Amino acid sequence: MEQVDMNTAEATTPPPVCRAGEGAMSIRKVGKIYDPEGVHVVALKDCSLEIAAGEFVAIVGPSGCGKSTLLNTIAGFDGLTSGEILLDGEPLATVDKDPSPGPDRVVVFQHGALFPWKTVLQNVTYGPVVQGVMSEEAANERAQEMLSRVGLNDIETAYPGQLSSGMQRRVEIIRALINNPKVLLLDEPFRAMDTVTKSASHQYLLELYDATGKTIFFITHDLEEAIFLADKVLVMTTRPGYIKKTLQVNLPRPRQYSMLASEEFLAMKAQLVEAVHEEAVKAFEAGEREMA
């Protein structure tokens, strides 16, 4: 359907499989100042973190702390005002380099961004087809295979509006993964889900992570979710945002639900609760000052 220029040889070759070892990110002293109507808002300041290739990193912090701003700068939707971001050693964003989004770092958005007018299959194949890296038939075949891996058979011709929120999220994650990105950026994807749907979604995400080994950058408010899914949980400060605490999660994979009740898990959760609570109080007080 898309107008795509490509030779047939390319059309039949599947995209190169992202090798293990790709997707390492280095975020160095990143700063972002917004200046709407002359009021300086320092969203990020000297924010540094290292993400190894294939690592699952969760980032937690109070609302409005700049988590999404950081994600947007990585995704290329927003520019930096200082610092730099490297992907596999190559500069991705610097102060001088205009950000450009690309299929090597795809985002699953907070409020969902499936195209309502496209069927599930058309949504999933959008990336490869619009980039011209796969023919429509090849993309359809690949999409069906990936959808069935997360238990989504027989919904290819449904529209997103006909699916439950849990199914929509799974479709969206598959739509991102079919691009074979180096990094998957997830912005609170399971927010506002009921507990059952959420834990099912965790299961699917963990299975996909174990199967693909992609680097995952995961924003959330839910501390349990962060520990349960990630290799490393980062606590971000309230504005100006930087990384205040790094928690290594040494739980073995595949993760089991029984781990949620383990002493180790609860001890980690306690640490995070304390760190985040401190920031939440600061954010609340700062908010009160702003209002006054």
Partner 1 sequence: MARAATMNGASFAYKMRKFVASKHFTRGAMAVIGFFVLWQAGSMGLMPFMHAIPTPVTVAEAFWEFMCTGKYWQSWMDSTLRVTYGFVAAQLLGIPLGLGMGWNRNFKDFTYPLFELMRPIPPLAWVPVSILFWPTNESSIAFITFIGAFFTIVVNVLGGVSAIPRQLVDAAVSFGASPRQVFWRIVLPATIPSIVTGMMVGIGITWNVVIAAEMIAGNTGLGRLTWEAYLAGHTPGIIVGMISIGVAGYVSSMAVKMIGDWLMPWKKVF
- What is the contact surface with partner 1 in residues (CB under 8 A)? 2, 75-77, 101-103, 105-107, 109-113, 115-119, 126-127, 130-131, 154, 157-161, 179
Among residues 22 and 156, whose Cβ is nearest to partner 1?
156
Residue type, 5: D
Q: C-beta of 92: minimal distance to partner 1 in Å?
A: 13
Q: C-beta of 77: minimal distance to partner 1 in Å?
A: 6
Q: C-beta of 81: minimal distance to partner 1 in Å?
A: 20
Name the CA dihedral angle for 204, 208, 213, 215, rounded to a multiple of 10 degrees. Answer: -60
Among residues 133 and 208, whose Cβ is nearest to partner 1?
133
Among residues 193 and 272, whose Cβ is nearest to partner 1?
193
Token duo for residue 164: 């439950």
Token duo for residue 272: 């995070």
Distance CA 170, CA 176 (A): 10
Angle between helices 120-131 and 136-149 (to 10 degrees): 130
Among residues 98 and 263, whose Cβ is nearest to partner 1?
98
How remote is the C-alpha of 99 from its chain's centroid? 17
Cis preceding-peptide flag for 62 (omega within 30 of 0): no
The secondary element (H helix, E strand) that includes residue 42 is strand 41-51
Q: C-beta of 113: minimal distance to partner 1 in Å?
A: 4
Cα three-residue angle 136-154-183, rounded to 5 degrees: 55
CB-CB neighbours of 283 under 10 Å: 18
Q: 142: helix, coil or strand?
A: helix
Among residues 190 and 242, whose Cβ is nearest to partner 1?
190
Q: C-beta of 132: minimal distance to partner 1 in Å?
A: 8
Q: With contact defined as beta carbons under 8 Å apart, do 122 and 178 qualify?
A: no
Among residues 77 and 265, whose Cβ is nearest to partner 1?
77
